[in-house]
Structure 1
Amino acid sequence: MKWYLKALKKYAVFRGRARRKEYWMYILINFLVFMGLGGLDALIFGENSPLVTEDAPPTILFYIMLLYYLGTILPTLAVTVRRLHDSGRSGWWFLISFIPLIGAIVMLVFTVMESDSENRFGSNPKQAA
C-alpha cells in the first residue's frame, strides 16, 4: 500500500524514475480496487448493473468506479513514464501501447526490465532506498 500511496503523492510528476516495485504495486492495487468496485456493483445490482447489461441505468457504484478511473489516469500515466525513465527510455515510448497487441507486449517488456544504474533521468532509485 505504501508504494501505491507513493505513486499517488507524485500525482503528476513525470520527471525522475520509478522502481519496478513502485510501478507494479501501484498497478496491482489500482487493478484490485477497480475490480473490487466492479465486482461489488455486479454482486449488489446483478443483471441491473451497467457492467452486465448495456441497457441498465448507471448505478452509484458505476459512478464511483468512473470517478476512480478518471482520478487515476494521470498518476497511472506519470508512474508509467517514470518507469520508462528507469530503464533509460523517454516517456514518449508510452505511445507504443496504442498499437494493438504488439504495443502491450513491448510495454510489458519495458516495465519488467531491470533498472539502469545511472542514466540521464537520475540515479537508480533502488540504490537510494
Structure 2
Amino acid sequence: MDFKQAVLRCVRDKYADFNGRAGRSEFWWFALACVLVGLLFSILRLEMIGALVNLALLIPSLAVGSRRLHDMGKSGWFQLIWLIPFIGWIILIYWLVQPSAGPNEYGEGPALPESAAALPPGAA
C-alpha cells in the first residue's frame, strides 16, 4: 500500500471503522500524513486550522491504530498504553512495527503486496 492509498483508505473508506485489520504500511503512511499535515499548518502559522484538522483526524487515527493492533492479535484498547510515558510508548511502538501475525480472531489479515505474496512462507 502506498501513501495515497493509505490516506484515502483511512479518511474516506474506514474513517471510524474499528473492526478488521490494518497492515504496517497503512498505519505508518497514515501516521506520516498526520504529522505532515500538522507540520504544514505550523509552518504556515495557521495553528487554529491545524488544530481543527488534527481533531478531525483523531477518529481515523484511533481507528487505524486499533486495526493495526488487531493485526497483531491484540485488542484496540491497548492504545491506552500511550498514556504511560516512555515505557508505554516503547511497548506500543514495538507492537506497531511488528509484521502481521497471520489469521486471528480479527480476520484473515491485510492483503500482502503482490511481490511478497509470491515469496515462499518465511522468506518475507
Question: TM-score, length-normalised on structure 1?
Answer: 0.81
1:6 pairs with 2:9: yes
Question: Shift of residue 36 of structure 1?
Answer: 1.1
Look up the match of 2:121.
none
Look up the match of 2:33.
29
Aligned amino acid, residue 31 of structure 1: V
Q: Percent of aligned pairs with the same residue?
A: 40
Aligned amino acid, residue 9 of structure 2: K
More helix by proportion, 1 or 2?
Answer: 1
Q: Paired residue for 1:93, among 62, 78, 85?
A: 78
Runs of 4+ in structure 1 off by over 3 angstroms are none
Q: What is the CA RMSD across the aligned residues, in angstroms?
A: 1.4
Aligned amino acid, residue 22 of structure 2: A
Question: TM-score, length-normalised on structure 2?
Answer: 0.84
| Aligned mates of 2:90, 2:16 — CA distance in 1 | 25
Query: Unmatched 5+ residue regions in structure 1?
Result: 42-60
Instruction: Note the 1:1-129 alignment, pairs <5 A.
Output: 1-9=4-12, 10-41=14-45, 61-127=46-112
| Aligned mates of 2:25, 2:10 — CA distance in 1 | 11
Query: Unmatched 5+ residue regions in structure 2?
Result: 115-124
Deviations 1:49-78 (A, max 9, x none): xxxxxxxxxxxx222111101101110000
